[in-house]
Chains A and B, each alone.
Chain A
């Protein structure tokens, strides 16, 4: 961060700056995708207009919704375990905010450059399960408990293919560091031609497929929305939540979708990099130029919107999996496929 402006910040100054930026990086894309995809795209897919009244073309609808949620009565069920009930949405949000820490947005523009970035991200992404279990248990409702248990079973099952899909990328890049993975894609060559770099989209397309399917399941989005199946469980672990607390779950769900899309963009689409021949035309220093700290976030945002488009497209297109189909799909198809992908990647890595 500090290198961009040629000013040396004190540690506490850069920390406060990063805290504010973390809120921006989590909330602004979440709001944007909710408006673009959840309000508008799904409406067009269902031959209707969606919100049109609040602001030009309904663009202020989200603010109206937030206002509506914020002024609702704060209800905690009588038999509920109050402290755990209140804490649960925050645990889900903590997982979201810890995830964004390791996403690189430019050569210097990232929150923490962990040596084991992607491994840390996969670790903290599993913390949200705890929040969901807490919510399901503390609500003192059968629907919530069954929803929470279904969610936990699903998230445990799909965490494995998620991790295994990433292993292929890590083997190919030779590093766990997110910045290193981006650099490996920028500096990579396809059969000696380096003009496009080597986004792992080309070599790890099986990994990308498994990753996106697993993300869909981790987010409990349709076709994997068994935990919140509204026809049988009302709203799963969120049944007893209303108002502001429901809003926290809502933010957690859509912000996590965006950050998983950021991670997928970093791992498979070259992160904040653009094709190297364009970067070399723009600047002599190529991707090392400081301007990439400003171009990078825009590039990341574009790639993130592409991937979230696919996520919501699938969400609004396919019907729900049955519970046994869902588990069979993870254990008998995705995990073996991911293991084969790792083996093939390892062999090819040694051969080439």
Chain B
């Protein structure tokens, strides 16, 4: 939506509150879903609440003008990881209704760890970017004309981060072969 707004330059200032309002709605839904995810008594429900959180992340990426990251988020997390997770849960233990063994007595320690993580992350983010305002057009200022964000991402991956990209592909290949070896019976 932000990228779309940027094209209508005059309309940007007077309508900037619309994406802001939507952001807060989405953020509130994400926080609620995250809380429900850890407190629910059913595995499949927990997975579905996690799904809401992950799609909220994709929506926030779109607000930031990072369309490539948003599409990747949907394709990888929603379309692949969550489907595999739901598939696995339903294939093995998919009871309808509440389950008794989904809770344990370490919840307060867990809450403490979560709260301190939240404090550390929000402090460091606030410290680093607290006063910054996002530009209406997410493409960097020094980019050549006509070059969009996605192209910049591709250029960076295949020049600056080429070595780490290749190392990651080898790691994934190793994981793939490992999965085949584990799954084979003979």
Cβ A153 vs Cβ B78 within 8 A = no
- B58-111: which have CB < 8 Å to A? 67-68, 70-75, 78-80, 82-84, 86-87, 90-91, 94, 96-97
Q: Give Cα distance in the complex from A124 to B72, angstroms.
A: 10
Which A residues are CB-close (under 8 A) to B86?
Answer: 130, 133, 137, 152
Let me know if A27 is at the binding interface, CB within 8 A: no
Q: Give Cα distance in the complex from A123 to B70, angstroms.
A: 9
Main secondary structure of the interface of B (DSSP, over half): helix
Let me know if B157 is at the binding interface, CB within 8 A: no
Let me know if B44 is at the binding interface, CB within 8 A: yes
Which B residues are CB-close (under 8 A) to A113?
Answer: 4
Cβ B148 vs Cβ A126 within 8 A = no
Let me know if B18 is at the binding interface, CB within 8 A: yes
Q: Evaluate whether A126 and B71 lie within 8 angstroms (CB atoms) in the complex, with A11-B18, A80-B96, A145-B90 already known.
A: no
Cross-chain contact of A10 among B4, B11, B71, B75 (Cβ < 8 A) = B11
Cross-chain contact of B78 among A112, A130, A140 (Cβ < 8 A) = A130
Cβ B44 vs Cβ A137 within 8 A = yes
Chain A residue at minimal CB-CB distance from B78: A127
Interface residues in B, total, Cβ within 8 A: 36
Q: Evaluate whether A176 and B83 lie within 8 angstroms (CB atoms) in the complex, with A127-B78, A133-B90, A136-B90 already known.
A: no
Q: Give Cα distance in the complex from A305 to B97, angstroms.
A: 45
Let me know if B159 is at the binding interface, CB within 8 A: no
Q: Give Cα distance in the complex from A9 to B79, angstroms.
A: 35
Which A residues are CB-close (under 8 A) to B148?
Answer: 115
Cβ A152 vs Cβ B83 within 8 A = yes
Cβ A129 vs Cβ B83 within 8 A = yes
Cross-chain contact of A149 among B5, B8, B79, B87 (Cβ < 8 A) = B87
Cβ B96 vs Cβ A140 within 8 A = yes
Q: How far is the CB of A94 from chain B (nearest CB, A)?
A: 10
Which B residues are CB-close (under 8 A) to A176?
Answer: 150
Q: Give Cα distance in the complex from A140 to B75, angstroms.
A: 28
Q: How far is the CB of A124 from chain B (nearest CB, A)?
A: 6
- Cross-chain pair count, CB within 8 angstroms: 97
Proximity bits, A120-149, B CB within 8 Å = 1, else 0: 101111110110011011101000010011
Q: Evaluate whether A130 and B90 lie within 8 angstroms (CB atoms) in the complex, with A119-B71, A120-B67, A120-B71 already known.
A: no
Chain B residue at minimal CB-CB distance from A112: B4
Let me know if A71 is at the binding interface, CB within 8 A: no
Let me know if A156 is at the binding interface, CB within 8 A: yes
Cβ B75 vs Cβ A137 within 8 A = no
Let me know if A225 is at the binding interface, CB within 8 A: no
Which B residues are CB-close (under 8 A) to A137?
Answer: 44, 86, 90, 94, 96
Proximity bits, A29-68, B CB within 8 Å = 1, else 0: 0000000000000000000000000000000000000000
Given A11-B15, A81-B97, A156-B87, 4 more A-B residue pairs with CB atoms under 8 Å apart are: A10-B15, A123-B72, A126-B79, A156-B80
Give 26 A-B contacts (CB < 8 Å), ordered by A residue. A10-B11, A11-B5, A11-B15, A12-B18, A81-B97, A119-B71, A120-B71, A123-B72, A123-B78, A124-B74, A126-B75, A127-B74, A127-B79, A130-B86, A133-B83, A137-B90, A138-B96, A140-B96, A145-B94, A149-B90, A152-B83, A152-B87, A156-B80, A156-B83, A156-B84, A159-B79
Binding site for A on B (CB under 8 A): 3-5, 8, 11, 15, 18, 42, 44-45, 48, 51, 67-68, 70-75, 78-80, 82-84, 86-87, 90-91, 94, 96-97, 148-150
The 10 A-B pairs with the shortest beta carbon distances in the complex, nearest first, are A126-B79, A123-B75, A123-B74, A120-B71, A123-B71, A119-B71, A115-B148, A133-B86, A11-B15, A116-B67
